Amino acid sequence: MASVIYPTTNFTATEQLCITHGEGIYVYDDTGKQYIEGLAGLWCTSLGYSNTEVVEAITEQLKRLPFQHTFGGKTHAPVMELAEKLKAMVPVEDAYFFFGNSGSDANDSHYKMLRYYFNAIGKPHKRKIITRERGYHGVTVAAGSLTSLPANLAHFDAPLEALSILRTDAPHYYTGRQGNETEAQFVERILQNLEDQILAEDPDTIAAMIIEPITGASGVIVPPEGYYEGLQALLRKHDILIWADEVICGFGRTGADFGCTTMGIKPDLMTFAKQLSSAYFPISASVIPGWMYKAMVDQTNEVGVFGHGYTYSGHPAACAAALKTLEIYERDKIFDHAAEVGTYLQEQLRATFTDHPLVGEVRGKGLIAALELVSNKTTGATIAGGKGGAAAVKACQTEGVILRAVAGNALAFCPPLIITKPEVDEMLKRTKAGVDAAYEALKS
Ligand code: PLP
């Protein structure tokens, strides 16, 4: 084994898949075996594995200007162009963009910018952030504290107490319902819980609530009808900002430009990464509205400098990758394609797996989906220790499709946005063989 500390890995795991190259939606291992990348790498390679236009845009930029920082008085064309392009796309009022390198650092940047802003307007007490159970927002100190998955918190002394994070219910009806509660009753109950929490904490101490429009890495959760309408009304009533983490949902994944569009959310702040550059070069963005930016400008005049930035903020090659990716999304109508093939994926997944004995729920929207694997289809009882998810991932890999088990037993799909209907058929054929094999293995 190489001396690599692998991220999010059981260090004693002995089996490792070494991927050597890719083409379209396929990747190949070092024995030459082909796999469908059913999770687009880590929810990110939207244009697949062989987009030469993006590679050329990066290469050209690297030849012209491989690096230029954007600290104090320096800039370059790609970063300015990218901000203008994104400004025309995002549903944030008069948007301004802080660029970073990952979804985690984008969320940390937002965390700090919120503090900076509320200090600037003389409300330093407005500092708490609400997050949801089963939310995933990354692993840096603030983002890792906003994340709710046990493995990301345990043994890291997270959440860091000084960050003042409040946790509220996950909007997952299938696993969160009580008794015979209907979806509408479930929504009413969890929103009432949230309002009780807000009042108990004092709304004037709460800055924002972070949400993934559709929760990705902790289970692919599509909130029920009425949830976001009620949530937004509640947050507006108590003057709490809505911070949409679009790191997975952004740029076509849910069948529209942003997850917020699909789910009817009007965000104040947004974060994105991953599909912003189809993952060909690391880049993230923290998006704030103009009114927040203006208050920060005033504060900066007082302290001399906005003391937050990364060496690679707005890296020219990353901006070139993002600009070319956005151009291709627009030119090739990739979001429309994702909407059409996404509808097909959702239909075919339900047709193939709704009656499967190992599957309790089939869920998703657009080109993101999950199968909840259960030990008892009638009661929805879970499979201890995430063994269902692990068995299915392994069996699917043998069949030639790479998927990921999230939140234990949710088998997640998030293929490149360029996937075609025949490729969806092939992915589901391989997955069905894998899930059947996992079902047999779990029985014995
Ligand atoms: N936010 C969401 C919704 C994510 O899914 C992820 C990663 O999967 C992150 C933030 C963190 O992004 P990164 O891994 O690039 O730091």
What beta strand segments (E) does 194-235 contain? 206-211
SS3 assignment, position 156? coil
192 and 276 part of one domain: yes
- Domain presence at residue 48: no
Domain boundary among 266, 300, 331: 331
Cα 233 to ligand 1 centroid, rounded to whole Å = 27
Does ligand 1 lie within 6 Å of residue 212's CB atom?
yes
Return d(Cα 412, Cα 367) in angstroms, integer. 11
**Residue 131 reports pLDDT greater than 70:** yes
- Chain-centre distance of CA 39, in angstroms? 12
Which residue shows structure tokens 């082909």? 34
For the segment 45-55, the average pLDDT, to the nearest whole number, is: 98
**Residue 275 reports pLDDT greater than 90:** yes
- Domain presence at residue 380: yes
- Domain presence at residue 25: no
For the segment 18-31, the average pLDDT, to the nearest whole number, is: 98
- Domain presence at residue 28: no
Side-chain half-sphere exposure of 134, counting CA atoms within 13 A = 21
User: β-strands 404-406, 359-365: how paired?
Assistant: unpaired
**Residue 47 reports pLDDT greater than 90:** yes
Return d(Cα 374, Cα 391) in angstroms, integer. 12
- Confidence class of residue 300 from pLDDT cuts 50, 70 and 90? confident
- Residue 284 CA: which ligand 1 atom is closest? 15
**Residue 308 reports pLDDT greater than 90:** yes
- Residue 282 CA: which ligand 1 atom is closest? 15
**Residue 297 reports pLDDT greater than 80:** yes
Contact 255, 365 (CB under 8 A): yes
Domain boundary among 290, 316, 331: 331
**Which among 129, 136, 218, 258 is the best mutation to test ligand 1's pocket, defined by most ligand atoms within 8 Å of the CB?**
136
Cα 128 to ligand 1 centroid, rounded to whole Å = 21
Q: What was the pLDDT predicted at 365?
A: 98
- Domain presence at residue 175: yes
ipTM over 0.90: yes
Q: Where does residue 149 fall: left (phi above 0), alpha (psi -120 to 50 degrees), or beta otherwise? A: beta
Q: What was the pLDDT predicted at 369?
A: 98
Cα 443 to ligand 1 centroid, rounded to whole Å = 35
Cα 370 to ligand 1 centroid, rounded to whole Å = 18
Lowest mean per-residue pLDDT among 26-40, 144-158, 181-195, 249-263 = 144-158
257 and 284 part of one domain: yes
**Residue 13 reports pLDDT greater than 80:** no
Residue 359's domain is classified under what CATH number? 3.90.1150.10
Does ligand 1 lie within 6 Å of residue 216's CB atom?
yes
Q: What was the pLDDT predicted at 298?
A: 87
- Domain presence at residue 9: no
Q: What was the pLDDT predicted at 1?
A: 67
Does ligand 1 lie within 6 Å of residue 49's CB atom?
no
Domain boundary among 278, 311, 331: 331
Cα 40 to ligand 1 centroid, rounded to whole Å = 14
As for how many domains the chain has, the answer is 2
Per-residue pLDDT reduced to its tens digit, 151-169: 899 899 999 988 999 999 9
Q: Where does residue 219 fall: left (phi above 0), alpha (psi -120 to 50 degrees), or beta otherwise? A: left
Q: What was the pLDDT predicted at 11?
A: 85
For the segment 217-241, the average pLDDT, to the nearest whole number, is: 97
Q: Which domain holds residue 153?
A: 54-331
SS3 assignment, position 25? coil
